[in-house]
Structure 1
C-alpha cells in the first residue's frame, strides 16, 4: 500500500469506517486530502488528487429496490471511472428493478453525507455488492466516511467486512 497515508495503528481522521477496520484488525492506508467544494465528482477528485488510476477508486452508491422490496436500500460499490448499471444492480440483489435512493434516505441509512458515504461502518448495514473489477487490483480505495478522505485496502478485506457479493455492476 502507498505510504502517503497512515495504516492501522496510525490515525487518519477517525470515522465509523476506520473504527470498523480497526475493530476487525484489517490493514488499511488512510488517504486524507484537501477536498475542493467546487468539485463536481468526489471520486474523480480523489483519484486526481491522490494520483491513483480512477479504475482503482470506488464510489459507494445507495440503491432502492423499489417495487420488489418496498423501500429496501442496498449498497453498490463501483469504480468512479464508470457508472452503475441499475439493471445489473437489481440482478445482483435478486430484484427486478433498482433506482438510485433518495439522497436524504441514503444519508439517514448510512449515517454519512453524500460524497462521503463509505461502504464501511454504516449506521444501518445494508446488503452490499461490489463490482467484479475490484478483484483486478491488489488494493482499492473507497470513501473513508468524509469528503476528502479515502481508505485503501485489499478488495477481499472489504468484501469480508461488508459481507458483500461480487457482481458485474459497472456500465463502462
Structure 2
C-alpha cells in the first residue's frame, strides 16, 4: 500500500500541469549557450530562443501542460509545464541532438520583450530575467547582432525603435 501511494505521488509530480493563463517563463540551457522565453495564453504559446546574437521565434500549442512549438525553419521547441517551471528541449531543423533547457515563471518585470521599428526595418527582442539582466538579439538588414540593453528611443543600425513592450503569446514574430 505504501508503494502504491508513493507511486501515485511521484506520477502526479511528474505529470505536466496546465499553465496559468497569460504566463511567461524565462531560462536557458545549463551551459549558458542559449536563453529561452515561452509565453502562454489560451492554449497557444510563443517561444523565443537566443544565443545573444541571433534569435529564433516559435509558435504553437499547449495541451494538457505540454508545449509543442515550431519555428519557420522547422526547428521545434517541446516541453512540459510543471507549476512554476518549464523544462524541455529545442530540436534543430532537420534533426540532430536537442538542446535541453529549464525556464521559471517570470513575474514582472521579467519576461519577453520586443521593440518595433518606428523608422526603417528591423527587429529587437530581449529576454529579461528575474535578476534584472537581459539577453537579446537584433536583426537589421538581414544581419543579426546582440541587442543593446532595453530602453526607449533606441537607434540601431540607423533604425529607430519604439519602447520595449512585453510580448504576449501569439504576438511574436
Give me the TM-score of the superposition, normalised by structure 1: 0.30
User: Which structure dedicates a bigger proportion of its chain to helix?
Assistant: 1
Give me the TM-score of the superposition, normalised by structure 2: 0.30
User: Which structure dedicates a bigger proportion of its chain to strand?
Assistant: 2
